[in-house]
Amino acid sequence: MQFTETPPPPLHQNSITPCSNFIMNNNNNQFHRTRPWPGFSTTPTNKALGSVKDANCMEQLLVHCANAIESNDATLAQQILWVLNNTAPPDGDSNQRLTCGFLRALISRAAMTGNCKMLTAAMANTHPNHAIDTHKFSVIELASFIDLTPWHRFGFVAANAAILEAIEGFSVVHIVDLSLTHCMQIPTLIDAIANRPEGPPFIKLTVSSCDADIPPMLDISYEDLGAKLVNFARSRNVAMEFKVIPSSYADGFASLIEHLRVQQLVFTDRNEPEALVINSHMKLHYTPDETLGEIHHHSPYYSMEPSFSSTTSLRSAFLKALRSLNPTIVVLVDEDADFSSTNLVSRLRSAFNFLWIPYDAVDTCIRRGSKQMEWYEADLCWKIENVIAQEDVQRVERLESKSKWVQRMRNANFRGISFSEEAVTEIRHMLDEHAAGWGLKKEDEEDHLVLTWKGHNVVFATAWVPSY
């Protein structure tokens, strides 16, 4: 059976073989089952099961299953889920564990859909611990966890290099840290600032509080985290203040923008120049892309920018509001994938053909079955379930590709700037500390940087200044 008119090229490292469409014609087979699925009395042969264990066939079965769930065909969905249940154990190889994550997410979606709600019983029998148990990290645990791969470190190194260059000559630096990793980038930035030849500036660090539990999660409050960072800065002879602003991605960080505007008005009465640094690390993609009218007709952005209309995208509104603050530099780091489609199958394909990368890469640095592996893959399963099982405002994992973000930034009247050769050299040295397979390349006329795994784009780093 053909699933797409033009199938995407295989991205996985396993050998690719044609996928049998036996699942559609298995009603006459009666064979012993290794992992029983409640309510399903007919099964394919073990030989047939073996033929679907490569990644391409698993993806096609997931697509079949998603279509069956969306069309409310509980019988077909259950048959395909049984096959996936037998070919994708949670302790298998990287592609099997990836597929298992999608299996769980599809069952979660099925549990909310018409006739397919019966599949919750199957879930209880085959995956009794279905609830994703994400870990709350201590600061030390999270710092060590991040150091395992370049996934976050790449963005840290690139951003810090760009920020250090941009703040030269400023005696006061205001850093707005919109980071998924809870300021884990900041200690190395403080170290670099402390060694500045002209002496360190005064640092104002502002973060937004988050009203949702998005992994990775910390086991301490932002206030306690801020106290630790201020003490660390003091130990490096850097004066710093830390402020938490109640603000959420759900409304495009509107209250944070308003706070920054008020702060700018206050600071214009002083003589000393202040650099405004916006550091966004894998967090802006949580901002909804619905229009202001769809989100709320009384969005704070209406009063901030009278030019905004009900058809203005919330993401675009946020970026244009940032531009109105005239920041010294904006650094945007995120994963180079697109999970923004409203079509389930399109999202599934995009997610499957991107998220094999962290599953594949983690096998090089974490022992399978360890607690760290459990924490790492629980966070990935949370992402998969959000992409597949959730819709509307609950679906917050809405990655966009680098090319889309670049266009958004240009539309908001920013221009890209290149990273220095020193930054590129530092990133390459950092990558040498990790497993073979990680790489670095430059893209676009601004020489934006892209982290790669076995030649495939993973994370991009871009730097921007206001365009006049």
Q: Is 109 exposed, middle or buried (0-12, 13-18, 19+ CB in 10 A)?
A: buried
Same structural domain, 348 and 247: no
Indicate whether 11 belongs to any domain.
Answer: no
Indicate whether 12 belongs to any domain.
Answer: no
Indicate whether 365 belongs to any domain.
Answer: yes
pTM check: above 0.75: yes
Can you give the pLDDT at residue 243?
97
Please provide the distance, in angstroms rounded to a whole number, between the alpha carbons at the two ends of the chain. 54
Same structural domain, 81 and 194: no
13 vs 30: CA distance, rounded Å: 33
DSSP secondary structure code for residue 312 in this structure: S
Same structural domain, 157 and 126: no
Indicate whether 197 belongs to any domain.
Answer: yes
From residue 34, alpha-carbon distances to 25, 46, 60, 365 in Å are 20, 9, 22, 31
Same structural domain, 64 and 168: no
Please answer whether residues 156 and 188 qualify as being in contact, where contact means their C-beta atoms are separated by less than 8 angstroms. yes
Residues facing residue 245 across a β-bridge = 208
Indicate whether 353 belongs to any domain.
Answer: yes
Three-state DSSP state, 192: helix
Same structural domain, 122 and 55: yes
From residue 416, alpha-carbon distances to 257, 425, 447, 448 in Å are 22, 20, 9, 8
Can you give the pLDDT at residue 133?
83
Please answer whether residues 157 and 419 qualify as being in contact, where contact means their C-beta atoms are separated by less than 8 angstroms. no
Same structural domain, 108 and 168: no
Indicate whether 10 belongs to any domain.
Answer: no
Question: Token pair of 223, please?
Answer: 């206030």
Three-state DSSP state, 35: coil
Three-state DSSP state, 229: helix
Can you give the pLDDT at residue 279?
98
Q: How many domains does the chain have?
A: 2
Please answer whether residues 142 and 182 qualify as being in contact, where contact means their C-beta atoms are separated by less than 8 angstroms. yes
Final residue belonging to a domain, choices 330, 364, 393? 393
Same structural domain, 456 and 407: yes
Long-range contacts at 427-434 (CB < 8 A, ≥ 24 apart): 427/154, 427/157, 427/158, 430/150, 430/153, 430/154, 430/157, 431/150, 431/154, 434/149, 434/150, 434/365
Can you give the pLDDT at residue 23?
44
Question: Which residues, 6 or more positions from 298, have their beta carbon under 8 angstroms from its beta carbon?
Answer: none
Final residue belonging to a domain, choices 365, 393, 421? 393
Indicate whether 9 belongs to any domain.
Answer: no
CATH, residue 152: 3.40.50
Same structural domain, 84 and 203: no
Same structural domain, 210 and 262: yes
93 vs 83: CA distance, rounded Å: 17
From residue 423, alpha-carbon distances to 1, 166, 249, 418, 433 in Å are 49, 13, 30, 10, 16
Same structural domain, 154 and 248: yes
Q: Which domain holds residue 381?
A: 17-131+341-393
Q: Please give the chain's pLDDT, 468 residues, in tens.
A: 333 333 333 334 333 333 544 444 443 333 333 444 444 334 444 444 444 568 899 999 999 999 999 999 988 998 999 899 889 999 999 999 999 999 999 999 988 876 676 665 555 555 544 567 889 999 999 999 999 999 999 999 999 999 999 999 999 999 999 999 999 999 999 999 999 988 999 999 999 986 668 999 999 999 999 999 999 999 999 999 999 999 989 888 999 999 999 988 876 656 678 999 999 999 999 998 877 666 655 566 656 665 666 667 889 889 999 999 999 999 999 999 999 999 999 999 999 999 999 999 999 999 988 999 999 999 999 999 999 999 988 999 999 999 999 999 999 999 999 999 999 999 999 999 999 999 999 998 888 999 999 999 999 999 999 998
DSSP string, 345-364: HHHHHHHHHHHHHHHHHHTT
338 vs 393: CA distance, rounded Å: 17
Same structural domain, 55 and 200: no
Please answer whether residues 281 and 185 qualify as being in contact, where contact means their C-beta atoms are separated by less than 8 angstroms. yes
Same structural domain, 268 and 172: yes
Can you give the pLDDT at residue 269?
57
Final residue belonging to a domain, choices 353, 375, 393? 393
Please answer whether residues 16 and 53 qualify as being in contact, where contact means their C-beta atoms are separated by less than 8 angstroms. no
Strand-strand pairing, 438-443 and 448-453:
antiparallel
Indicate whether 7 belongs to any domain.
Answer: no
Q: Which stretch of DSSP H or E encloses residue 463?
A: strand 456-466
Number of helical (H) and strand (E) elements in the chain, helices listed first: 17, 11
291 vs 285: CA distance, rounded Å: 15
DSSP secondary structure code for residue 291 in this structure: B
